[in-house]
A = this chain, B = another copy of it.
Amino acid sequence: MVLPKEVTIVEVGPRDGLQNEQKMLSVEEKVRLIDSLSATGLKKIEAASFVHPKAVPQMADAEKVMKSIERRAGTQYIALVPNTVGARRALDCGVDGLAFFVSASETHNLHNVRMSREASLEEMAGVCALAREAGVPVRSYIVTAFGCPFEGKTPEDTVVDLAARMFDMGASEVCLGDTTGMANPLQVFNLFKRLAELFSPVRLAGHFHNTRGTALANVFAALQAGIATFDGAVGGSGGCPYAPGANGNVATEDLVNMMEDMGLSTGVDLDGLILCAKAAEAMLGRRLSSTVAQAGPTWRLHKAPGGETENRAS
């Protein structure tokens, strides 16, 4: 079994994590979180979303956040934009990259951005033109790439066609989003293998939610197809709009722990990341879905207790 030797972790907690959290964080809290995340060595952070403040109140202060963070050398700060208006706002803040998104499912796209996929792709052309002018790359999400909560499993061909159009428009990377945790690892392996043969694995990324516990299984499947860029949200923040109380994004520390334990290098300081996760939990006032923030890294050993016996483990 051959896996990539190095992986790139894209931290999306400050955007995808926070936008699904009830509690509003202050600009200061967001800046502190982002700065402590960049200090762990993360090379890419999706720091904010330039959407209409009415659509996502948690992101209303995107400009303030982007302008207040410390821009660590070696970290690229990306912003999500739904249209050219958002792209202009983000570029005015000097972001290092834009992220755009189109759902593979027409029903989901209509619900998510109130326009058809075709209209979204037209919007994307404008965003790509602005990005080209500014000399920054565009990362393009295919939302509901594996399944849609309204339409069910996503046909592979739909994703292949969308990816081709996104690359044609100038996307530097296409990231498949398992938005509501509907992917299974066999499906992930097959779809990524097909895409990696058509395009190149280095231009593809995986964004998995842990709604049904399969996020790391899906990551492992994608690794086997040669994919080496994965999104995570610190602490496993966020949630699922269709399943109250369900897990959100895979926790970045769970991702890093599994990679490093397999000998795949991430360049991220896991202990520092766990502190970020605990800080995020404190800010949000709730226990998040991270497992490694709770249990510690795999390689952290315990002292054997005294003489007591338990007669029970297996």
Q: A101-B313, A301-B149, A304-B150 are in contact. Are A212 and B113 (CB under 8 A)?
A: no
Q: Does A227 touch B at the CB level, under 8 Å?
A: no
Pairwise interchain contact B56-A312, C-beta atoms closer than 8 A: yes
- Which chain B residue lies CB-closest to A144? B313
Dominant secondary structure of chain A at its interface with chain B: loop
Q: How large is the interface on A (under 10, 10 to 19, 20 to 34, 35 or more residues)?
A: 35 or more
Q: How far is the CB of A256 from chain B (nearest CB, A)?
A: 11
In the complex the two chains form, is A56's CB within 8 Å of B258's CB? no
Interface positions of A from 227 to 275, Cβ below 8 Å from B: 240-243, 245-247, 250-251, 254, 257-258, 261-263
Residues of B within 8 A of A143 (CB): 313-314
Known A147-B298, A295-B212, A295-B240; judge A52-B152 contact (CB<8 A): no
Considering the chains assembled together, what is the distance between the CA atoms of A303 and B114 in angstroms? 16
In the assembled complex, the Cα of A221 lies from the Cα of B224 at a distance in Å of: 11
Tell me whether A312 and B214 are in contact (CB under 8 A).
Answer: no
Chain A, range 167-212, C-beta contacts under 8 Å to B: 177, 179, 181-182, 184-187, 189-190, 207, 210-212
Chain B binder among A24-32, A33-41, A103-111: A103-111
Known: A302-B150, A312-B56. A213 touches B258 (CB 8 A): yes
Within the complex, which residue of B179, B184, B221, B294 is in contact with A246, where a contact is CB–CB below 8 Å? B294
When A220-B185, A295-B246, A298-B182 are in contact, do A51 and B311 touch as well, CB less than 8 Å?
yes
Asked if A310 is at the interface of the complex by the 8 Å CB criterion, the answer is: yes
Residues of A within 8 A of B (CB): 1, 3, 12, 16, 19-20, 49, 51-52, 55-56, 59, 80, 82, 99, 101, 103, 107-108, 110-114, 141, 143-144, 147, 149-152, 177, 179, 181-182, 184-187, 189-190, 207, 210-217, 219-221, 224, 240-243, 245-247, 250-251, 254, 257-258, 261-263, 291-292, 294-296, 298-299, 301-305, 307-314
